[in-house]
Amino acid sequence: MFDWLRRGASTTAKSVASKEDDDLFGDDFQARLEYLAIVARRIYSGRMRAERRSKKTGSGIEFADHREYSPGDDFRYLDWSVYGRTGRLLLRLFEEEEDLSVYVLIDCSRSMQFGKPKKFDYARRIAAGLAYVALANLDRVSMASFADAVTGRLAPTRGKNRIFKVFEFLRNIEPEGRTGIADAMKTFVAQNKRRGVAILISDFYDPAGFEAGINTLRYHKFETYVIQVFDPVEVRPALHGDVQLVDNETGEAREITVTPRILERYAAAHASYRKQIEDFCAKKQVTYFSIETSTPFDDAILRILRRGGMLG
Amino acid sequence: MEFTALSLTQVLTVLGAFGAGVVVFYLLKLRRRQVPVPFVRLWEQILAEKQSTRLFSQIKRLLSLLIALLFVALVAFALGDPRTKGAHDAGRSLVVLVDASTSMQATDMRPTRLERAFEETRRIIDGLGPSDRMLIAQMDATTTPVSPMTDDTRVLRESLTHVAPTDLTTNFARALRFALDVLRDKERAEIIVVSDGHLPEARDEEGLVSARGAKLSYVAIGRHHRNVSISAFSVRRYPLDKSRSEVLVELLNSSTDPEAIELTLLGDGQPIDVQRLQLAAGERTSRFFENISGADRTLEARITLADGKHDDLPADDRAFARLPERRRARVMSVSEGNRYIEAALLLDEYLDVTEVSPAEYPAPGHFDVVIFDGFVPPSPPTTSAVYLNPLPPTGVQGPLEVLGVIERPFFEQIDRRHPLVRWTALRDVNIASALQVRLAPGDRPVAGDSRGPLLVAGTRSGKKFVALTFDVRRSDLPLRPAWPLLLLNSIDWFVSEDAAYLSSYMVGETWHVGVPAGHATATLQAPDGTSREVPVVDGRAVCGGTRAGFYHVRTGTEDELIAVNLDANAESDITPVPRLTVQGQAAGHFTPGTIGVRREIWIYLVIAALLLMAIEWFSYHRRWTV
């Protein structure tokens, strides 16, 4: 299905794809991406491509709002009719029509190594899926990986045939380091002045808390989507007896005797943590998704598209 | 408390070594398995709640260690085989004589006295002290040990299954001798007699047997004594009509109350006569059954109480007899004509008689007996023969050498023990004259005059012969009952058919049963169907049994049926005896040792250890312990 794309793809993408052992982004995966792109188009049918407007006001032709004139503003945008009626100097603002920038931020801390399949692999597939839908929609897609800092970055790109760049980027990142969403997001916003949609994919196991990172994106006018991935085994681990729990990021150790009762309480604590993130996001008008790795990734993407309205 | 397998030091060494191992393993167990988790902070909330239970957790850990150490301690002490101090006291040596004689089959104590004796013996086993040792023996006509001298109560209990009831009379002297032999040189020896006390005087060929030297205890068994027994059972065939028999049954009521009974006679298993009779208390009475016919092989007498029930001892309510099978004897009479011989032979319907003249002799065919009337064949016959007036012609040698003639002889000397003259009266028989003969070595003058024998029995060429040295027609013998008897006795003597008293064998005795030649062993099948091989000595199977009834003695295809009866006179009185006295020594009661406590403490320790393991396993999986 992607043969025509492959033919047009760069030799670099071909070589990377050929040397990749795993089947993370194999033919089957690519076929499902194409399916997703078609379904996404149906969901948002009637809209023209590249019609997505940014919320940035600027030099467009469609009126957006008024604001008080300040010295230095362009006189050409003064609304003289308003001045005639009210005597106030108001500046006319127009929506700036520009390509939508979609930033996919993927957590590659060590905690993402857990699960079967690994949360990291699952997150990469989700990221690739969303990126493909966006590319198919002619949006500008940029990728970034982070742990306690931004560890990798894919420059903004556009067009469906650029998906292999995305694959290459995702293949080359490794789960490493501790989670530090706040610091990573500070770096991200500093590096990306162009506002747009920020899709944050993580398990949000941040000892410093998840709130600061999300707020950083919000404060910098990014339309933020939070996707929390977790493995069912994380919720109810197959543990019993005396064990020493070691945090694989921080190395912190805790001794505990695991009993069925303890496991129930841990599951409740995990659910409470997820609820905490969800409540925070709802409060801050941030769209939140909680996805188990047992959910087929295409179902998860369709759910995101339907509920989130982030694309199209 | 003392240790018999390992010393206390060794036990403590084992305990220390394994205890140290347990502690080491316990400490290793404290090093927990490391499990990586993605976000340990999530567990901290639970851990914070668990802080309050840390003390309880530590107690649980300590409990686990204590359980493990306790397990090691139990096993270590079990290895030491600890015993109470009493276990080292000199124990008693006991011989329990369990009476298995006929009277112990009485049902006055359900199911039988013998079963009650087993129960009492089990109580004695349960009452053994820590160091007591016991041997159990079955006491009847012989004394048979059924267990070794042991302190293993399991073996002793199991040995009781080898005690079986018998129809024998107790030989108490033999049992006492056995017990004293077993207990010789044993400290604290004790003989316990478990019986209904109906024991004969303890006397044997060496005199009275005393139980001195051992403590004598007695466990009395029995409650009632209602019993009527067949004390004698005798059958004989009529000499002149062997198809019919005469039966004598003697009954004894040993109860203290009169009893109405029903006496049934069975021929070949089928009832042929029934009588009802009343017996006073202690009465002994006889009943005759005359002209009994319809039985070819077996006769059996049975008694029941008039109400159809059995008395307390059913074993002596039956008696058995065997009737030998009748077979026809083939007789050839060589005579010029003698109606006396013909008439006498007609009396026995089981004779096939062929009459020939001397000129026709020998007649074709096989014969069992040949009767020569005044005729001596030129060559000796190949069968048994009766010679009447055996005067040989010139040149012929007869069975007896004739020396001359005796005028008017009489039967003055008669060998009454000889079967030829059984039931005969010959004293006043008048004879005109008789041959004076010389007897050959081995010949036996059964009856005769002082001048010479008149009736001779002997053997010629391996065949028996009987010779009457006179012409019966010149005497008044044919006119007397003795004549046919004499002739038929001769034939019976030849064919070995005893028409007289047909009795049975007795239990407890050695039976010698004639079997066909050429066999070294025979198979004896008891009334209960069990079989065993018995030796054959001098043509007779040597065997014995402990139960009354019909036995089969088999050799090849031959099957000899024999009847065996018990000695009812000795066992019919089943009155229980509450006290036992032997040679003035009154038997006491058995004193139990420490009842209900096993002497092997190690068993309890091992059980406790296993129980502890089960608790640990259960609590571990319940997370009560760690």
Residue B89 has pLDDT above 60, yes or no: no
Could you report the per-residue pLDDT of B491-503, keeping only the tens digit for each? 888 876 544 444 5
In a domain, B598, yes or no: no
Could you report the per-residue pLDDT of B334-378, keeping only the tens digit for each? 999 899 999 998 888 778 899 999 999 888 888 889 999 999 998
- What does the pLDDT average to over B127-155? 89
Question: Which residues between 247 and 286 in chain A have a beta carbon less than 8 angstroms from any beta carbon of chain B?
Answer: 247-250, 252-257, 259-260, 262, 265-266, 269-270, 273
What percent of chain A stands above pLDDT 70? 82
Which candidate, B381, B475, B400, B396, places its Cα nearest to that of B445? Answer: B400
Distance CA B575, CA B281 (A): 13
**CATH number of the domain to which B346 belongs:** 3.40.50.880
Residue among B29, B34, B38 whose CB faces A205 most closely: B38
Could you report the per-residue pLDDT of A76-131, keeping only the tens digit for each? 888 888 899 988 888 887 765 556 789 999 999 999 998 888 999 999 999 999 99
Asked if the C-beta of A24 comes within 8 angstroms of chain B's C-beta atoms, the answer is no
Domain boundary among B309, B326, B343: B326
Mean per-residue pLDDT of chain A: 81
DSSP-H helix ranges across B352-508: 482-495
Domain boundary among B272, B294, B326: B326
Could you report the per-residue pLDDT of B173-185, keeping only the tens digit for each? 999 999 999 998 8
What pLDDT does B87 receive?
A: 52
Query: What are the tokens at B305?
Result: 């109480």
What pLDDT does A7 receive?
A: 36
Could you report the per-residue pLDDT of A173-188, keeping only the tens digit for each? 999 999 999 999 999 9
Confidence of residue B523 (pLDDT cuts 50, 70, 90): very high
Residue B430 and residue B366 share a domain = yes
Residue of A256, A258, A265 for testing the chain B interface, max B β-carbons within 10 Å: A256
Asked if the C-beta of B184 comes within 8 angstroms of chain A's C-beta atoms, the answer is no
Distance CA B57, CA B374 (A): 126
Could you report the per-residue pLDDT of A138-147, keeping only the tens digit for each? 888 999 999 9
Question: Domain total for chain B?
Answer: 5
Q: Which residues in chain A have Cβ-Cβ distances shorter than 8 Å to B42?
A: 205, 266, 269-270, 273
What percent of chain B stands above pLDDT 70? 92
Residue B168 and residue B65 share a domain = no
Size of interface A-B (CB pairs under 8 A): 82
Contact B487, B468 (CB under 8 A): no
In a domain, B593, yes or no: no
What pLDDT does A24 receive?
A: 75
Distance CA B216, CA B222 (A): 19
Q: State phi, psi for B407 to the nearest 5 degrees.
A: -90, 135
Could you report the per-residue pLDDT of B593-610, keeping only the tens digit for each? 654 445 678 888 889 999
What percent of chain B stands above pLDDT 90? 29
Residue B183 and residue B41 share a domain = no
Residue B343 and residue B379 share a domain = yes
What pLDDT does A10 receive?
A: 39
Contact B222, B106 (CB under 8 A): yes
Q: Which residue of A has its CA nearest to B620?
A: A241
**CATH number of the domain to which B510 belongs:** 2.60.40
User: Taking CB atoms and an 8 Å limit, are B33 and A250 in contact across chains?
Assistant: no
Residue B117 has pLDDT above 60, yes or no: yes
Contact A149, A190 (CB under 8 A): no
Residue A311 has pLDDT above 50, yes or no: no
How many Cα atoms sit within 13 Å of B315 on the Cβ side?
31
Residue B210 and residue B118 share a domain = yes
Residue B452 and residue B343 share a domain = yes
Confidence of residue A22 (pLDDT cuts 50, 70, 90): low
Q: Which residues in chain B have Cβ-Cβ distances shorter than 8 Å to A253?
A: 34, 40
**CATH number of the domain to which B210 belongs:** 3.40.50.410
Residue among A114, A249, A269 whose CB faces B45 most closely: A269
Residue A49 has pLDDT above 50, yes or no: no
**Reduced DSSP (H G I as helix, E B as strand, rest coil) percent helix, strand, coil of chain A, to 5:** 45, 25, 35
ipTM: 0.75
| Residues in CB range of A180: below 8 A, 6 or more apart | A147, A148, A149, A206, A208
Could you report the per-residue pLDDT of B398-427, keeping only the tens digit for each? 888 999 999 999 999 999 889 899 889 998
- What does the pLDDT average to over B127-147? 89
Residue A46 has pLDDT above 50, yes or no: no
Query: What are the tokens at B557?
Result: 């295809």
In a domain, B453, yes or no: yes
Strand partners, B318: B302
Domain boundary among B266, B294, B326: B326
Residue B361 and residue B486 share a domain = yes
Distance in Å, alpha carbon of A4 to nearest chain B alpha carbon = 42
Q: Which residues in chain A have Cβ-Cβ distances shorter than 8 Å to B623?
A: 257, 259-260
In a domain, B602, yes or no: no
What pLDDT does A220 receive?
A: 92
Domain that holds residue B106: 88-225+574-586
Residue B170 and residue B192 share a domain = yes
Distance in Å, alpha carbon of B612 to nearest chain A alpha carbon = 20
Could you report the per-residue pLDDT of B240-273, keeping only the tens digit for each? 666 778 888 899 998 888 889 999 989 888 888 8
Distance CA B574, CA A55 (A): 124
Given the structure tokens 């004076």, which residue do they identify? Answer: B436
Contact B336, B373 (CB under 8 A): yes
Could you report the per-residue pLDDT of B434-463, keeping only the tens digit for each? 999 999 999 999 999 999 999 999 998 888
Given the structure tokens 């008696």, which residue do they identify? Answer: B319
Q: Which residue has the higher pLDDT, A148 or A255?
A: A148
Residue B388 has pLDDT above 90, yes or no: yes
Choose the weakest-confidence range: A38-42, B147-151, B162-166, B307-311.
A38-42
Residue B334 and residue B443 share a domain = yes
Could you report the per-residue pLDDT of B547-585, keeping only the tens digit for each? 889 999 998 888 888 888 888 777 778 888 888 888 888
Residue B482 and residue B352 share a domain = yes
Residue among B33, B36, B47 whose CB faces A248 most closely: B36
Residue B486 and residue B354 share a domain = yes
- What does the pLDDT average to over B69-94? 79
Residue B130 CB: number of other CB atoms within 10 A? 19
Residue B427 and residue B389 share a domain = yes
Vertex B153 angle, CA B148 and B156, to 5°: 40
Q: Which residues in chain B have Cβ-Cβ distances shorter than 8 Å to A252?
A: 40
Q: Which domains does chain A have, with CATH numbers?
A: 3-46+99-308 (3.40.50.410), 57-95 (no CATH)
- Provide Rg for chain A, Cα atoms: 22
In a domain, B594, yes or no: no
In a domain, B160, yes or no: yes
What pLDDT does B623 receive?
A: 64
In a domain, B148, yes or no: yes
Distance CA B229, CA B259 (A): 11
In a domain, B26, yes or no: yes
What residue type is B548 in one-letter code? A
DSSP A209-245: -SHHHHHHHHHTT-EEEEEEEE-HHHHS----EEEEE
